[in-house]
Amino acid sequence: MKRLLFLVLVLSIATGAFAGRWGRMVEIDANNLPSTSKNIISKYFKGISAVTFAAEWPNNYGVHLNNDYKLNFYKDGSLKDAEAKNKPLPMSILKELPREIHSYISSKYGNWALTEVEVKSSKIEVELENGNLEAKLKFSRTGQLLKEKIDD
């Protein structure tokens, strides 16, 4: 019985140490982000100097930009998601997505405010606002419109 209790205790400690070590966020200098991420920040925002917080997780990177935007990047530096906090995301960031998505949103929602972009493994989701209206669009990874919903 003591052996069983000892074994359970050892396994619990080992599992806790393993989970804690591999699941942690580590704050990093923005200059240590992948070059693709730094290029996106420079191209669509005010450059690395706008980064107020940068962190690395086991599967992605995250940054905050002047308390206005929150961005996450995959390990290769490509855009994972972008969220507007205090002002709209620049519409030009849609150029990081398939051309069909950028073209569709620019033509149909050009005067709307871009609030969120999320690039998932099988689809891309975009949210926009215009006054009381909110549009939620889902696209395939190749840019084909899958779903469009406008709420008031």
Domains located in the chain, CATH noted:
23-87 (3.40.1420.30), 88-152 (3.40.1420.30)
Residue 43 has pLDDT above 90, yes or no: yes
Burial class (CB in 10 A: 0-12, 13-18, 19+), 126: buried
Model pTM above 0.85 = no
The predicted structure's pLDDT at residue 51: 96
Residue 127 has pLDDT above 50, yes or no: yes
The predicted structure's pLDDT at residue 57: 96
User: Of 87, 71, 86, whose CA–CA distance to 34 is shortest?
Assistant: 71
pLDDT digits (tens, 9 = 90+) for 60-98: 999 999 989 999 999 999 999 999 998 999 999 999 999
The predicted structure's pLDDT at residue 9: 42
Looking at per-residue pLDDT, the higher value among 11 and 30 belongs to 30
To 10 degrees, the CA torsion angle through 72, 78, 79, 80?
Answer: -60
Lowest-pLDDT range of 20-24, 44-48, 57-61, 134-138: 20-24
